[in-house]
Amino acid sequence: MHDTAAVEYPSFPYPVTNYQEDNRGQFHFSSRGGWMNDVNAPLYYRGVYHLYYQHAPNSLVWDTMHWGHATSTDLVHWQQKPIALDPGIHPGDLWSGGGVVDTGNVTGLKNGDDDPIVVFSGTNGVQVFYSLDGGNTFKTFADGKKVVKPNARTSRDPKVFWDPIAKHWGMVVWSDEGGNGADFYTSENLLDWTFGSRYQADWLFECPDMVRMPFEGGYKWVLSDGSGEYVVGDFDGTTFHPLNRMQQKINQTDTHAGGGYYAALTFANLPVKDRVVSMAWQGENQGTIWTGNATFPVDQRLKRTPDGPRVVSTPIPEIASARTSTRTWKDRTLDARSAKQLLAGVEADTYELEATVDVRDAERFGFRLHTSPDGWFDRDVVYDAKAQTLDGTALKPDHGKVKLRLLVDRGQLEVFGNDGDVYQSHNVNFDSLPGGNGLEFFVDGKVHVESLTLHELGSIWKTSGQSTLSTDIAGQWYPASGNWTDVAGGKQGQAGGDAFYLSKASGSDFTLEGDVKLVSGTAAALTFRANKDASRHYTANIDADAGVVKLWRPGRDIATHPLAIERGRIYHFKLTAASTAIEVWVDGTLMIDATDTEQSAGQFGLNVFRGTGIFQHLHLTPGS
């Protein structure tokens, strides 16, 4: 037995991150930067949940794979950690895989107080990596020698599990030997593996999971693939025996790689006996420095149905730790008109919605999410009482009632029906800009609302990262256009044309101060009295090409003052606005004193034009 010598890991590659980008999930995990895809080796060890994942840290698209790493003490609030597996240190294709905690030291690798955490990766054969510091850094076992030799043209995605009846470890690996299917292996020590059997199924494509679940006083095994298709059966220690070869789906959406649900895995070594927790990859969401996120964790269990045992999924109860406020409506009989009035005036950005509705007199009902005063909404969720479907998925009422539970985040929507009989995960770019946070209940026919509860959910990132922009301007910031990132000197904007970074806070009369540096290109500026997409605004800039300080708005240059602008130098701006009067001061000198009647109030922000600018130390004083 030989392992590579410990190698010093590269420095932590992530800059300080602004988690308030418009479509960045506020309670769904996403990597601080770079590309994220499949969930890898989720596990629990000594009070900490570890989430590893497929990761390209310096790319917004799939690239050379690393294993990213994040930890949590409650499965809700996550903290980014340095990369766990790095291709500059660890050999082989670091593609998807699973992991376990070797609590009995069957590997013999233990050297200190921590139990070895052993993870499995590699394509066309399986490699082993192990951690002796609680899952933070990993060594390569046997110089990367493959502990499972390839027996097919293509194989990948090993998942390891404990079989308490056979009292040995099992491994399931996807391969294309004779078509799609899963190969099963067994081991006493996690390092030496013996082929056991093969389960052939055309539907079973990559990222398999194998998990044991309680069922009616006993246990069954669930074998699933990357798209969440699964069969339930028995496992005799080497061979899987399905109860029915017709597969079901864990998540009732169009699941595929890069879609709203893919490559889910269940956590290993959980502290609660028989608890099954799963997370998946959502791939249709991205921001300026990141791509992809994870689904919110769900508890899974087996339920008896006329078609046999089925997997049902519900949000983990730990979600309560993210709730910031709760409002409840009870015992309401509603028609179309009164339903529309029920939530009038309610606004929420990120939230959990629970409803129990009697549908015996209804044709359909549902919720319109992120509505605006002009009637626009970003997404609706509809229960069709006649067809007995929830967003197209079959869902029969239970004694005439339907339960809905929605998780609404910045770029994610998860829908649950009747305590998990329906589970749907979507990436939705919800418009969390000002004026678009309404919520509407709608009814065709008549319903009786037994209860309706709205829990607003706060950001899980409050202690995990913040923008490098120092400002006392209240309200969340978002990029209205252009590329905005956090750098050591402050907030950096880059664009080939105009780009705006705006706060949701607004004002009418005020004094606004801030430091502006034009790094390269034409102009950098402070913006004020803007609307939410900056199609209307006032902007005061330094323009290096024209050699001026300029106050402008769309359609009009209001005033200019000559000034030789040095790129790379910091200029201190002070802007005062009182009714129609606007003053622009630069480095303590009054440059512009003008009047304009176009915009009386609006949001604050930053602007770059055909170049790169860095902004810092924004200070706002209300009033003149």
User: Of the listed 3, 22, 38, 515, which one is catalytic?
Assistant: 38
Tokens coding 115: 């139990």
Q: What are 544-554's pLDDT values in tens digits?
A: 999 999 999 99
Question: Percentage of residues in the chain with pLDDT exceeding 70?
Answer: 96
Q: What are 305-363's pLDDT values in tens digits?
A: 998 999 999 999 999 999 999 999 999 999 999 999 999 999 999 999 999 999 999 99
pLDDT at 12: 66
d(CA 103, CA 268): 12
pLDDT at 5: 44
pLDDT at 387: 98
Q: What is the mean pLDDT of residues 598-622?
A: 96
The amino acid at 60: L
Q: What are 575-605's pLDDT values in tens digits?
A: 999 999 999 999 999 999 999 999 999 999 9
pLDDT at 8: 56
The amino acid at 195: F
Q: What global pTM score does this model have?
A: 0.82
Helices (H), strands (E): how many in the chain? 1, 44
Residue 245's pLDDT band, with cuts at 50, 70 and 90, is confident
pLDDT at 153: 82
The amino acid at 130: Y
Res. 14: pLDDT tops 60:
yes
Res. 211: pLDDT tops 70:
yes
Say which residue, 289 or 173, is predicted with more confidence: 173
Fold of 477-622: Jelly Rolls (2.60.120)
d(CA 40, CA 48): 16
Domain parsing of the chain, residue ranges:
34-315, 319-457, 477-622
38 catalytically annotated: yes
Res. 65: pLDDT tops 90:
yes
Residue 295's pLDDT band, with cuts at 50, 70 and 90, is very high
pLDDT at 490: 86
Q: What is the mean pLDDT of the chain?
A: 94
d(CA 181, CA 204): 6
pLDDT at 1: 37
Pick the CATH number of 34-315 from 3.40.50.300, 3.40.50.360, 3.30.830.10, 2.115.10.20: 2.115.10.20
pLDDT at 258: 96
The residues, ordered by sequence, that sit 6+ positions from 576 with a Cβ below 8 Å of its Cβ are: 510, 511, 512, 582, 583, 585, 624
Q: What is the mean pLDDT of residues 100-115?
A: 97
Q: What is the mean pLDDT of residues 18-26?
A: 84
Q: What is the mean pLDDT of residues 133-162?
A: 93
3-state secondary structure of 344: coil
Full strand arrangement of the beta sheet holding 127-131: 99-101, 117-121, 127-131, 139-140
Start-end of H helices in 158-304:
none
Q: What are 399-443's pLDDT values in tens digits?
A: 999 999 999 999 999 999 999 999 999 999 887 677 789 999 999
pLDDT at 2: 39
Q: What are 524-572's pLDDT values in tens digits?
A: 999 999 999 999 999 999 999 999 999 999 999 999 999 999 999 999 9
The amino acid at 624: S
Res. 23: pLDDT tops 90:
no
Intrachain domains 34-315 and 477-622 with the same fold: no
Res. 152: pLDDT tops 80:
no
Residue 9's pLDDT band, with cuts at 50, 70 and 90, is low
> Which among 103, 140, 136, 143 has a CA at the least distance from the CA of 120?
140
Res. 463: pLDDT tops 80:
no
By the 10 Å C-beta count (0-12 exposed, 13-18 middle, 19+ buried), 588 is classed as exposed
Residue 521's pLDDT band, with cuts at 50, 70 and 90, is very high
Res. 468: pLDDT tops 80:
no
pLDDT at 6: 45
Residues 319-457, CATH architecture: Sandwich (2.60)
Question: Where are the extended beta strands (E) located within 385-469?
Answer: 389-390, 393-394, 401-408, 412-417, 422-427, 438-445, 447-457
Q: What is the mean pLDDT of residues 126-152?
A: 93
